[in-house]
A and B are shown apart, each in its own frame.
Chain A
Amino acid sequence: MIAQAILSLLLSGVLVYAWAEYRRSPVVASLSVAVSLAGLFFVWVPSESTRVAEFVGIGRGADLILYLWVCISLIVLLNLHLKLRTQQDMITRLARAIALANVVTPHEDVMGAVPDVPQPQTGAPPAARAHRSTQMDDQIA
């Protein structure tokens, strides 16, 4: 009875999470709801899991749940991976925007790279840096 109470509590937590998550990603939320409802059902009627397991050709209900759990974990991992990639993509764009806003053009006077910009310190020593912001938002996107 104690185990059932704890499991029910945890699974209810998943339900609440799914509800909160629904607007951000309906697919993940729906899957979570399905999984936690199935979990609640099996927690309270364990014999049913054995019936389902036998129906799909697996010996015990506990085995069935273990296999399902492995699959669900893999899907969650994949989802996390994709989220990380998105984050990395955002960080890249942020870092690139910062870098392109702080281009150092030390030899503008020598190279004449950008004629339309006032030239900084003519005859400055090579190591002297001329910081200059460059407007190029269209290029960063």
Chain B
Amino acid sequence: MRSIAPSSVWVICPAFNEATTLPRVLKELRDAEYKVVVVDDGSSDDTPRIAAATAAAVISHPINLGQGAALKTGIAYALSQGAQFLVTFDADGQHRISDIACLLEALEGADFALGSRFLQGSQQIPLIRRHLLRAATLFTIATTGLCLTDSHNGLRAFTRRGATALSLRQNRMAHASEILADIARSGLRHVEVPVTIEYTRYSMQKGQRTADFIMILLDLFAQRLYR
């Protein structure tokens, strides 16, 4: 079995005003010996300073562009640094560091490993959130043909080849659907890996509001119009 050295892995951590959770997340990532690039998306708090204390690289967008744009910036940087494996990891502390290893293991037979909170049973997912995610998943199956259980999970891993195949033109939150569309188009293999999402009050506040899903649909629709 090929084992992936943590030092060949770049973890891309988009962060917008995450000074509360960032220190813990970065410390755990560093303890696991991953290379971390924090993309500070125009934060107004201490995020860039905190990131500079721990991360291997900090990239600061001069203005807030959105998570999709931050991911693209981070991926471009990691690729330029010769990353062989790339992981996207939310900075709000909702992911578990130990899940990264499972994703990387899954990259053995695939170019994309996508975290799914629905693969293992008994997880505490708020009811409304659960239904919205189901709807998003159905939307994904209908538009991309990918059979996934969780279309909007921030924890993903790509091989270099996989990351190169992503276009990421959606600046805001519609990038999650866009990544899946790119995966479907690339024809490369993908797998889903069970991961745990920690729903804290903080992550629920910071994360998507229910109304944001409407904006996501609009963004996706607008892109169809002028592609």
Contacts and interface: CB of A to CB of B under 8 A. Distances in A.
Interface of A: 78, 81-82, 85, 88-89, 91-92, 95-96, 98-100, 102-107, 111, 113-114, 126-127, 129, 134, 136, 139-140
Contacts of B62: 95, 98-99
Contact of B56 (A81, A82, A98, A107): A107
A89 B66 CA distance: 12
Contacts of B130: none
A98 to B, nearest CB: 5
A92 B226 contact: no
Given A99-B60, A106-B52, A127-B52, A81 B222 contact: yes
Contacts of A126: 53-54
Contacts of B190: none
Interface in B141-180: 169, 171
A96 B69 contact: yes
Which secondary structure characterizes the binding site on chain A? helix
Nearest to B39: A99
A113 B57 contact: yes
A88 to B, nearest CB: 7
Given A113-B81, A127-B53, A104 B60 contact: yes
21 contacts: A95-B62, A95-B65, A96-B61, A96-B65, A98-B62, A99-B59, A99-B61, A100-B76, A102-B60, A103-B57, A103-B77, A104-B57, A104-B59, A105-B56, A107-B56, A113-B56, A114-B81, A126-B53, A134-B77, A139-B76, A140-B76
B14 to A, nearest CB: 12
Nearest to B50: A127
Contacts of A113: 35, 56-57, 81
Contacts of A106: 52-53, 55, 58
Interface of B: 35, 39, 48-49, 52-63, 65, 69, 72-73, 76-77, 79-81, 169, 171, 222, 225-226
Given A96-B65, A106-B53, 5 more contacts: A82-B225, A89-B169, A104-B58, A114-B81, A126-B54
Given A81-B222, A85-B222, A127-B52, A134 B80 contact: yes
Contacts of B59: 99-100, 102-104
For the complex of A and B, 4 pairs with smallest distance between CB atoms: A136-B80, A139-B76, A104-B58, A111-B56
A92 B222 contact: no
A129 B61 contact: no
A96 B72 contact: yes
Contact of A82 (B53, B55, B169, B226): B226
B24 to A, nearest CB: 16
Contact of B226 (A85, A91, A104): A85
